[in-house]
Structure 1
Amino acid sequence: MFKSDRFFLMVVSIVMFSLFLVGCGNGEENQPQDEVVTDENEGLYIVTSFSILNDVVSEIIGDRGTVDYIVPIGEEPHEYEPIPSDFQKVSDADVFYINGFNLEEWLEGLVQNVGDVPTVEVTESITPIKLEGGDVDDPHSWMNVTNVITKVETIVNDLVERDPEGEEVYRENAAAYIEELEELDGWIAEQVEQIPEDMRVIVVSEDAFKYFGEAYGMETEGIWELNSHEEGTPSQMSRVVDVVRDRQLPAIFVETTVSRSYMETVSDNTGVDIAGEVYTDAVGVEGSGAETYIKMMEHNVNTFVDGLTQ
C-alpha cells in the first residue's frame, strides 16, 4: 500500500474515533456493547501491540490485571491499519507496551491521537540486529529466547513502578516464567544439534529468523527482509531458488502471516517441498498447538528439525 493511502486511512480512523467519543458523551445508551470498561478495582488495563507480546505480559501480570492487544492473530504487524476500536483500547489503557525496533511505526501515530497514555518499548535493553545496509533494526528480537527474558525483566520493572502493591506477584510470576524460558532456550539448542550442520538453513518468505539463527547456529534466507519491504521480484526469487538448489536443502518453510504463493513458487522451481508452516509475527489461534510464545517456538523448532533431517 502506498504511503498516501496509509495516511488517508489513518486520517479516516482518527476522524471516526473522534466521532465515536462524541457519541459516547451523549449517554450510556449510545455506548457500543464491545466498549472496553475498566474499573480501578480490577487492576491495570494493559494494551500490547501484538499477540506475542500480549502472551508474555499475561504471564507476568497473572490475575492482577487485564491484557489486550491490537494486531489480530493471523495478520502481520508491520503494515496493520488501526481501526477505531484500537484507538479506544489504547485510550483506556494504563500503559501501552510495544516491541519497538520500528515494528510499529503506524502504532506510534495512533498513540499521538489518544492522549497521554504511557508507551513503553520492551526492547530498550536489547541490542538489535541490523538489516542489510546497516541503518534499520530487525524487529524480530523475540526469535531469540534470551531476548524475551530481557523483555520480561523490563516489563516487570515497569509494572512494579505502576503498581507497587503488586510487586510480589509480578516478580514471582516473572521468575517462574523466566525459568520456563531458560528451559526452552536450552531445549532449542539441543534440538538444533539433531540437524546436520550443512542443512542448518531456514528458508522462508520474510527473513524473520535472524535472531534465531544467530542464537542457535542456523543460517537464514528470505525472499525479502521485512514484510513492509515485500517485493518478491524475479531477481529475489531467483536468488532464493539458487540457494535451495546449491545447498541441496531438503525443505523450505512458509509463515502463517504471509501468502504461501511465494514459497510455492520456490518449491515448484526447486522440487523441494514446503515442510510446514512456522510462526513469526503472531502466536497461533486456539487449537493450533502454538497458542503461546513458548508453544509457538516449540512448534517452529519441531518443524525445522522434521523438515531438515529428512
Structure 2
Amino acid sequence: MLTRRALLISATALLPLPLAAPAFAQSDGPIQVVATFSILGDMVKRIGGEHVAVKTLVGPNGDAHVYQPTPADARTVSEAEILVVNGLEFEGWLDRLVDATDFDGMRVVATAGIKPISFDDDHDEHHDEHDEHDEHEEHDEHDEHDEHDEHEEHAEHDEDEEHEEHAEADHDDHHHGAFDPHAWQSLANAVVYVDNITAALSQANPANATDFYQNRAAYVAEIEALDAEIREIMEGLPADHRTVVTSHDAFQYFARYYGLTFVAPQGLSTESEASAKDVAHLIEQIREQGIRAVFVENIGDSRLLERIADETGAGIGGTLYPGALSGPDGPAGTYLDMMRHNATTIAQALNP
C-alpha cells in the first residue's frame, strides 16, 4: 500500500501552487495542455477529462531520450496554456525547445515534491553487484572504479574537454543530471504526479476545480488498488527469482518499491553505450544466478539483449515499457495498463 509519507506529500501538492503563474482568461473551451511524453499526457487526460485538450510531444512508443524537437513542436508549445514536464532533467531538450517559442503559460513540473533516487546511489548499487564477481577477474585494483574505466579510448579523453559528452555517456548519466528521472515507475510517486497536475489545472481553471479533484480522487483510488495488486504479485516471486535484466536502467524506482533487483547493460539513457566489460559482467551474473529471462523494451534496440539471451540460454521474457506507452490497442495504452503489464510480464517470466 502507499506509504504515509507519500500521502503527506500528495496532500501538500493539493495546496495552491507556490510559484507565480500566468492569469488565464476563463473561456468555455478546454485548457490547451502540452505534455512532454505519453505517460504525462495520459495522466493529464485522466484528471482534466473534457476540460482539457492535450497534445503530447513524444508520443506512444517514442523515446524521449533521443527526441529532437521540430518546428511544429515549437508552434504547439507556443499555443499551450500549460506545459507539463517530468523534470529531474529527463527532458534534456526542453529548455532549448521553450527558448525557441513565445510560450508564456504555466510550466508544471510533475515530479515536484518527490524524493528522487540519486545517480550516485543507483550507480553504487550496480558497482556492488559487479564487485561480487570481481574475484574472478585479474585486475582487482579496478574494483572500486567505474565499470567503464577499462575503455582506453575513453580514459585517454578524461581530461579533454572536447570529449566530456562521451565521458558522461560512459558513466551512465548521459543527458541526465544527479538524479534518476524515471520516477513514474513508483506508484507512490504517481500520486504526486497526479496531485501536481490537479493543482495546476485547478489554478488555471478554478471553475472546473471540483471536476478535477473528483477525477483525481477516482484516479488515485485506481492507483492504490493497482499498487496492492502488483505488491501481491511481486511478493509471490521467490527470493532467488527477483533479478530482472532489461535494456537500460529505467526501473530503479520500481525495484526499490517492490523489492526487486534490476540490472541493465545501458545506463539511465537509451543513448548510453554498454561497454564490453558491462556486458561480460551481466552475462556472468545471468549464468551464476540462473536468471531465467531477459526483457526487451518498446523504446530500445533489442539486439544486445537478444545476443545476451543467446549466449546465456536465458529466454526473452517479453517487452517492458519503461518510459512510453504503447498505442491505444497495445498492452500499455494507459499509465495504469503499462504498470500492470510490466509487473505481470516480469512475474510470469521469472516464476519457476
TM-score, scaled to structure 2 = 0.75
Cα distance in 2 for partners of 1:237, 1:104 equals 27
2:320 to 278, 302, 307: 278
Q: Quick check: 2:293–2:349 contact (8 Å CA) kept in 1?
A: yes
Within-5 A mapping of 1:69-84: 69-84=56-71
Give the number of the structure with larger relative contact order, counting CA–CA contacts within 8 Å between residues 6 or more apart.
2
Alpha-carbon contact 1:129-1:138 (below 8 Å) kept: yes
Matches within 5 A, 1:83-162: 83-115=70-102, 116-132=104-120, 136-162=178-204
Counterpart mapping for 1:1-310 below 5 A: 40-115=27-102, 116-132=104-120, 136-310=178-352
Partner Cα distance (1:100, 1:228) in 2: 17
- 8 Å contact 2:270–2:300 — kept in the other structure? no
RMSD: 1.5
Deviations 1:191-216 (A, max 9, x none): 00121111111110101110001001
Q: CA deviation at 1:252?
A: 1.0
Specify the SS of the correspondent of 1:205.
Answer: coil
Distance in 2 between residues matched to 1:213 and 1:301, nearest whole Å: 11
Q: Which runs of 5+ in 1 are unaligned?
A: 1-38
1:229 deviation in Å?
4.6
How big is the shift at 1:42? Answer: 1.5
Q: Judge conservation of contact 2:247–2:265 (CA < 8 Å) in 1.
A: yes
Alignment partner, residue 3 of structure 1: none
- Partner amino acid, structure 1, of 2:225: E
Show CA shifts across 1:169-205 (max 9, x none). Answer: 0000000000000001111100001211111111101
Provide the TM-score with structure 1 as the length reference.
0.85
Identity of aligned residues (%): 32
Given that residues 203 and 221 in structure 1 are in contact (C-alpha distance below 8 angstroms), is that contact kept between their aligned partners in structure 2?
A: yes
Whether the 8 Å CA contact 1:111–1:117 is kept in 2: the answer is no
C-alpha displacement of 1:88: 1.1
Moved more, 224-233 or 173-182: 224-233
CA distance, structure 2, for counterparts of residue 107 and residue 88 of structure 1: 14
Shift of 1:104: 0.4
One-letter amino acid of the counterpart of residue 281, structure 1:
G
The runs of 4+ residues in structure 1 deviating greater than 2 Å are 132-135
In 1, Cα distance between equivalents of 2:91 and 2:243: 28
Is the Cα contact below 8 Å between 2:283 and 2:311 reproduced in 1?
yes
